[in-house]
Amino acid sequence: MRLTTLSRRTAGVFGTLAVLSLVLTFGLRASGAPNSHPASAAPKPTIVLVHGGWADASGWNAETQRLEGDGYTVIALANPLRGFQTDSAYLRSVLATITGPIILVGHSVGGVLITNAATGNPNVKALVYVAAFAPDLGETVGQLLAMNPGSQAAPPNLTVRPYPGGVDVYITPSAFHSVFCADLPATTAAVMAANQRPINAAALGEPSGEPAWKTIPSWYLVASNDQAIPPATERFMAKRAGATTVEIASSHVAMISHPAAVTDLILAATHAVG
């Protein structure tokens, strides 16, 4: 009697294990419960943020906080600012380590990097320009700055400092607030001026390569109060790239003074290509 009872219990245990095996193997589910297997959901893209000159990656702090809160992986790249060709190669090497879709965002001269580094990379699904340069093949930042009047990022508002092998360009601290970030508090601008990272002067004359915006969908935020890149030039570059464009009354650093608008544009691009 005991053996029979034990045999029944053993059979019951093995029967339960067999059912569990079927569930795990074939994804069966009871009572019509939804399948929550992670493979059923498309992976969220990695969002790579590229700062420009006279700034650093901390300028993306507000965007990073919101995007990460929404479940996105964010990389706020440290742009070397040593030359657009070498900086683009550096960004390209970082992108090569990322699996899955990528949304690439650039501010100011960071736009040159995303324009060049994304070319030929099938993982990059969208380009987002934030008051940024979007050069065509062979164009230089110097040419684009001279296209329309209005840029105050020029002498006498610039300070140069030689370094071994080249010359660095800074915005003169006394002009930093008006040129770069007029819609931020003066105290904030003073700290940013002290912390600014310079641009290698030679980079301004480097010709850009084959632009990624010819093959990758792009979005553009025009800063209509920009004193660094003339807004007319921003509108021209956005139109030429066929970018989905928004315009806000912002200084050059829209990602700091209007982080909600910038984040909304990044998400709009993400959702459009997702």
Q: Residue 29's pLDDT is what?
A: 33
69: domain CATH number?
Answer: 3.40.50.1820
Whether residue 246 contacts residue 271, with contact meaning beta carbons closer than 8 Å, is answered with: no
Residue 208 has pLDDT above 90, yes or no: yes
Residue 214 lies in a domain: yes
Mean pLDDT of 104-119: 98
Residue 157 lies in a domain: no
Residue 115 lies in a domain: yes
Q: Write out pLDDT tens, residues 155-195.
A: 999 999 999 999 999 999 999 999 999 999 999 999 999 99
Q: Residue 153's pLDDT is what?
A: 97
pLDDT interval class at 274 (50, 70, 90)? confident
Whether residue 261 contacts residue 248, with contact meaning beta carbons closer than 8 Å, is answered with: yes
**Structural domain for 135, as ranges:** 42-148+204-273
Q: Residue 139's pLDDT is what?
A: 98
Whether residue 261 contacts residue 254, with contact meaning beta carbons closer than 8 Å, is answered with: yes
Q: Write out pLDDT tens, residues 1-33.
A: 343 443 444 444 334 434 334 333 333 333 333
Q: What is the pLDDT of the chain when averaged over all its residues?
A: 89
Residue 272 has pLDDT above 80, yes or no: yes
Q: Residue 142's pLDDT is what?
A: 97
Tally of domains in the chain: 1
Residue 34 lies in a domain: no
pLDDT interval class at 49 (50, 70, 90)? very high
Residue 194 lies in a domain: no
Residues 6+ apart with CB under 8 A from 38: none
- Highest mean predicted confidence (pLDDT) among 2-11, 34-43, 229-238: 229-238
Residue 116 lies in a domain: yes
Residue 33 lies in a domain: no
